[in-house]
Amino acid sequence: MTKVEIPIAPERLAEWVIEARRCTIELVADLTHEQLIGQRLDIVNPLLWEIGHVAWFQERWVLRHVCGMEPVRPDVDALYDSIAIPHELRWDLPLPSLDETLAYMEAVRDRVVDQLHRGTPPETLKYFVLYTIFHEDMHDEALTYTRQTLSYPAPRLSIVGPSHLETQGGPLPGDVEVPGGEFQLGATPDEPFVFDNEKWAHPVRVEPFAIARAPVTQAEFLAFVEDGGYDRPEFWSESGWRWRQAVGAHHPVYWQKERNGVWLRRCFDAWVPLEPHKPVIHVNWYEAEAYCRWARRRLPTEAEWELAASAEPTSDGLGITNRKRRFPWGDDPPDPTRAHMDWQSMDCIDVGARPAGDSAFGCRQMIGNVWEWTADDFRPYPGFVPDPYREYSQPWFRTHKVLRGGCWVTRSRLIRNTWRNFYEPHRRDVWAGFRTCAVRV
């Protein structure tokens, strides 16, 4: 657990608690009971269970762990404890009705806000409130991709207003050269809040490399599909080919080809023509790896990705300085002119958009728009110690792959250059794409 003070006013934290809960509720507000239960799939939760779990997690860590309060409902641990309740059993639980669930969620919210308004809250309270806000933000992203998985309509969120910002921008081909050097991978202790898997910055040696200015686009990935890339085992690893054969994949999961030869992709419940300059999304690590082999490219390592996003070149361009940026553009927090996040446009934008968010080396959209797979397994950094919520990272080491940068659904208050996401390599339901590096002989 971070020992520094959380530099966020209690009033601001209370606003975030209220706003996060409102987003969670709005993400399911238009759904029927049948939709709230949904299909039994190993990649989603019943939405009615998931929204209750979000409130339970906040109650568990803030109201009970920190404040010593009794549960709001006597049955919540038996209903919503994700560690104790196997995934496949969550459809069989005696879940409360939507109205009862909403009442529970609102009661937890109100009690947390009340604690924040009581004098000067201790740092431990602020820490766990912030942790549970971020936990809710991550589940709100999952609720959104569950709607995509189950072909539900796009959600209607009050946080998303009309945008005056351009969503076009075209392609952004080519690479940038990044000098090598010793680089501090990970977060530093002066960061106000980090998750345990970001701790702590440690030196790694990175050789010079060339990385794409932008993520792979739909047009670029379509060329791989139309060249028979899914049917050519020479492009696939042994485990990737086994996955491809097992699921019968011949193209990205939400694509289909019409009789007239036009390719479409499904965006929530609507089919739209492929947008050539938007990033390819909903591809898994195996698909990204196969594309790279076809294109004679490779995925960046986690260290290369973070260096390209956060380092600055020396004046002669031959090395990197000791300065490390919190975001690609600098230390100022994300805003819509730099990063496409917070459900804006309710979809990705062109990879050439948002030049104000470029890194020091000229990489675009390293924060926002689409999560980016990296080459690496998800592993602990040296000296790893789990945070109080021990199950956040530790159970998933070595079985998951690392993704970086956030996507158009990710909350801007959550992300930074050192933030590590992680999924199993077969997952293609999440909002994931990738960018590539040159292969040097």
Cis amide linkage into residue 200, ω under 30° from 0? yes
Stretch 327-334: mean pLDDT: 97
Query: Are the C-beta atoms of 2 and 192 separated by less than 8 Å?
Result: yes
Architecture of the 10-149 domain = Up-down Bundle (1.20)
Query: Are the C-beta atoms of 152 and 31 separated by less than 8 Å?
Result: yes
Whether residue 2 has pLDDT greater than 50: no
Whether residue 386 has pLDDT greater than 70: yes
What are the beta bridge partners of residue 440? none
Please report the pLDDT score of residue 398 as a whole number. 97
What are 250-277's pLDDT values in tens digits? 999 999 999 999 999 999 999 999 999 9
Architecture of the 175-216+296-438 domain = Alpha-Beta Complex (3.90)
Separation of alpha carbons 50 and 109, rounded Å: 16
What are 115-166's pLDDT values in tens digits? 999 999 999 999 999 999 999 999 999 999 999 999 999 999 999 977 788 8
The more confidently predicted of residues 92 and 166 is 92
Lowest mean pLDDT among 3-12, 144-153, 289-298, 344-353: 3-12
What are 96-118's pLDDT values in tens digits? 999 999 999 999 999 999 999 99
Q: Within a 13 Å sphere around the CA of 101, how many CA atoms are in the beta-carbon half?
A: 23
Please report the pLDDT score of residue 4 as a whole number. 58
Separation of alpha carbons 190 and 388, rounded Å: 19
What length is written for the chain?
441
Domain boundaries, the chain: 10-149, 175-216+296-438, 218-278
- Name the percent of the chain lying above pLDDT 90: 96
Nearest partner of 222 among 248, 246, 247, 257, judged by Cα: 257
Whether residue 354 has pLDDT greater than 80: yes
Helix H, strand E, coil C: the string for the chain is CCCCCCCCCHHHHHHHHHHHHHHHHHCCCCCCHHHHHCCCCCCCCCHHHHHHHHHHHHHHHHHHHHCCCCCCCCCHHHHHCCCCCCHHHCCCCCCCCHHHHHHHHHHHHHHHHHHHCCCCCCHHHHHHHHHHHHHHHHHHHHHHHHHHHCCCCCCCCCCCCCCCCCCCCCCCCCEEEECCEEEEECCCCCCCCCCHHHCCCEEEEECCEEEECCCCEHHHHHHHHHCCHHHCHHHCCHHHHHHHHHHCCCCCCCEEECCCCCEEEEECCEEEECCCCCECCCCCHHHHHHHHHHHCEECCCHHHHHHHHHEEECCCCCCEEEEECCECCECCCCCCCCCCCCCHHHCCCCCCCCHHHCCCCCCCCCCCCCEEEEEEECCCCCCCCCCCCCCCCHHHCCCCEEEECCCCCCCCCCCCCCCCEEECCCCCCCCEECCCEECCC
Whether residue 298 has pLDDT greater than 90: yes
Whether residue 335 has pLDDT greater than 70: yes
Whether residue 176 has pLDDT greater than 90: yes
Average of per-residue pLDDT values in the chain: 97
Lowest mean pLDDT among 158-162, 337-341, 361-365: 158-162
Phi, psi (deg, nearest 5) at residue 328: -55, -40
What are 58-91's pLDDT values in tens digits? 999 999 999 999 999 999 999 999 999 999 999 9
Stretch 288-317: mean pLDDT: 98
